[in-house]
Amino acid sequence: MNKTTRVLLNKLPTGVPDLDMVLGGGLPEYSFNIIAGTPGTGKTTLAHQIMFANATKERPALYFTVLGEPTMKMLRYQQQFSFFNSEKIESCVKFINLSDAVLEADLGAVLDRIKEEVVKASPSIVMVDSFRTLIRKVQSQPASEMELQGFVQRLALYLTSWQATTFLIGEYSETEIRDNPVFTVADGLLWLYQSTEGNSVVRKLQVTKLRGQEPIPGLHTFRITSDGIQVFPRTYGLIGTDRSRSSERRLSIGVPELDKMLYGGIPTGDSVLVAGPSGSGKSALATQFIADGLRNGESGVIAIFEERPGTYIDRADSFGLGLSDMIKKGRLKVLYLRPLDLSVDEALREVLDAVKILGAQRVVIDSVNGFELALAPAFRQDFRESLYRMVVALTGTGVTVLTTVETISSFTDLHISSHAISFLTDDILLQRYVEIDGQLRRIILVVKMRGGNHNKDIREYEITSTGLVLGARLQDYAELITGLPHRQ
Amino acid sequence: MYATATENIVRRLVSFEIGSDQDGLIDASLRVADMLGSHISKMIGREGFRSLLLRAVKLTAGDYPTIVKIEILAGGSISPASVTASLKGSDVIALLCNLIDLFGTFIGSDLTLHMISVVWPHLTLDAPDGEETELP
What string of DSSP letters covers A1-20?
Answer: --TTPPPP--EE--SSTTHH
- Is the CB of A76 less than 8 angstroms away from the CB of B118? no
State the nearest Cα–Cα gap between B53 and chain A, in angstroms.
Answer: 14
Q: In chain B, whose CA is at the least distance from the CA of A76?
A: B107
ipTM above 0.90, yes or no: no
pLDDT tens for each residue of A384-409: 888 888 888 898 899 999 999 998 76
Distance in Å, alpha carbon of B70 to nearest chain A alpha carbon: 24
Cα separation, A289 vs A461, whole angstroms: 16
CB nearest to B111's CB, from A65, A89, A99: A89
Please tell me the least confidently modeled range out of A125-134, A135-144, A289-298.
A135-144
* Model confidence at A322: pLDDT above 60: yes
The pLDDT of residue A410 is: 60
- Does residue B115 sit at the A interface (CB-CB below 8 Å)? yes
In angstroms, the Cα distances linking A147 to A136, A166, A176 are 14, 21, 18
Helix (H, G, I), strand (E, B) or coil at A352: helix
Residues on chain B touching A99 (C-beta within 8 angstroms)? 45, 47
| Residues A8, A336: Cα–Cα separation, whole Å | 44
- Are B45 and A71 a contacting pair at CB < 8 A? yes
Q: Which residues contact B118 (CB under 8 A, 6 or more apart)?
A: A90, A91, B39
Question: Number of CB pairs < 8 Å for A and B?
Answer: 51
Of B43, B46, B115, the CB nearest to A100: B46
Q: Which residue of B has its CA nearest to A70?
A: B44
Residues 37-96 of B with CB under 8 A from A: 41-48, 52
Q: How sure is the predictor about A240, in pLDDT bands with cuts at 50, 70 and 90?
A: low
Pairwise CA distance, residues B99 & B86, whole Å: 21
Confidence band of A243 (pLDDT split at 50, 70, 90): low
Q: What is the pLDDT at residue B83?
A: 86
Cβ–Cβ under 8 Å, residues A256 and A242 = no
Q: Is the pLDDT of residue A247 over 60?
A: no
Find the mean pLDDT for residues A361-385: 86
The pLDDT of residue A421 is 66
Q: ∠ at Cα A136 (A130, A138), nearest 5°?
A: 110
DSSP B59: H
Burial annotation A260-275 (CB, 10 A radius, 16+ → b, else e): ebbeebbbbbbbbbbb
Shortest distance, CA A77 to any CA of chain B (angstroms)? 8
Considering chain B, what is the average pLDDT of its residues? 87
Of the ranges A316-320, A400-404, B121-125, which one carries the lowest mean pLDDT score?
Answer: B121-125
Mean pLDDT of B52-63: 94
In this predicted model, which residue has the larger pLDDT, B134 or A327?
A: A327
DSSP states of B88-123 as a string?
-HHHHHHHHHHHHHHHHHHH-HHHHHHHHHHHSTT-
Contact by Cβ (8 Å): A12, A54 = yes
Pairing outcome for strands A427-436 and A271-276 = parallel
In sequence order, which residues have a C-beta less than 8 Å from that of residue B124 and are 6 or more positions away? B12
For residue A204, what are the contacts with CB-CB under 8 A and spacing of at least 6?
A192, A193, A194, A195, A219, A220, A221, A222
pLDDT at B67 over 90: yes
What is the C-alpha R_g of chain B? Answer: 14
Between residues A125 and A448, which one has the greater pLDDT?
Answer: A125
In this prediction the pTM is 0.80
- Cβ contact, residue pair B106, A73, below 8 Å: yes
Measure in Å the smallest separation between the Cα of B84 and chain A Cα atoms. Answer: 30
How many angstroms separate the CA atoms of B16 and B121, rounded?
11
Res B131: pLDDT = 58
Are the beta carbons of A90 and B115 separated by less than 8 Å? yes
Q: Per the CB < 8 Å rule, is B115 touching A70? A: no
Per DSSP, the three-state class of A322 is: coil
- Kindly indicate the confidence band of residue A191, based on its pLDDT and cuts at 50, 70 and 90: very high
Top residue of B51, B111, B112, B115 to mutate, by most chain A CBs within 10 Å, is B111
Contact residues, chain A, for B46 at CB < 8 Å: 100
Residue B80 is classified by DSSP as G
Q: Which of A364, A407, A144 is nearest to A275 (CA)?
A: A407
Q: What percent of chain A has pLDDT over 90?
A: 54
Q: How far apart are CA A343 and CA A202, in angstroms?
A: 8
Q: Is B41 helix (H, G, I), strand (E, B) or coil?
A: helix
Q: Does residue A3 surpass a pLDDT of 70?
A: no
Mean pLDDT, residues A186-213: 91
Which of A162-176, A227-241, A278-292, A319-333 is predicted least confidently?
A227-241
Q: How far is B46 from chain A (nearest CA, A)?
A: 7
The string of DSSP codes covering A404-449 is: EEEPP--SS---S-TT--GGG-SEEEEEEEEEETTEEEEEEEEEEE
Which DSSP string corresponds to A80-148? TSTT--GGGBTTTEEEEE-HHHHHHS-HHHHHHHHHHHHHHH--SEEEEETHHHHHHHHHTTT--HHHH
- Output the pLDDT for position B127: 57
8 A C-beta contact, residue B45 and residue A99: yes
Give the mean model confidence (pLDDT) for residues A116-122. Answer: 93
pLDDT at A181 over 80: no
| Helical H segments across chain B, by residue range | 4-21, 25-44, 46-61, 89-107, 109-119
Residue of chain A with shortest Cα separation from B47: A100
Question: Is the model more confident about A261 or about A416?
Answer: A261
Give B36 to chain A, closest Cα distance, Å.
Answer: 14
**Interface probe, candidates A69, A88, A90, chain B, greatest B C-beta count within 10 A:** A90
State which residue of chain B sits closest to A87, comparing Cα positions: B114
Distance between A196 CA and the closest CA of chain B, angstroms:
31
Report the pLDDT value the prediction gives residue A329, as an integer from 0 to 100.
Answer: 95
Chain-centroid distance, C-alpha B122: 18
Contact B115 A89 (CB under 8 A): yes
Q: What is the largest CA-CA distance in chain A?
A: 96
Nearest CA to A164 among A112, A129, A124?
Answer: A124
In Å, what is the CA distance from A387 to each residue of A89, A289, A398, A478?
45, 21, 17, 35
- Among B43, B47, B111, the residue with its CB nearest the CB of A96 is B43
- Interface contact flag, B114 A87, Cβ < 8 Å: yes
Contact state of A97 with B110 under an 8 Å Cβ cutoff: no
With bands split at pLDDT 50, 70 and 90, how would you rate the model's confidence at B129?
A: low
How do residues B71-121 score in pLDDT, each as one tens digit?
999 888 899 888 888 888 899 999 999 999 999 999 999 999 999 999 999
More confident: A425 or B127: A425
Residues of B in contact with A120 (CB under 8 A): none
Q: Is A86 in contact with B108 (Cβ distance < 8 A)?
A: yes
Statement: residue A444 has pLDDT above 80: yes
**Chain B residue with minimal CA distance to A88?**
B114
* Sign (positive or negative) of CA dihedral B71, B76, B79, B85: positive
* Average pLDDT, rounded, for chain A: 87
Read off φ and ψ for residue A434, nearest 5 degrees.
-135, 155
> What does the pLDDT average to over A96-121?
85
Distances in whole angstroms, Cα of residue A486 to Cα of each of A441, A478, A481: 14, 6, 11
Q: Residue A258 has what pLDDT?
A: 96
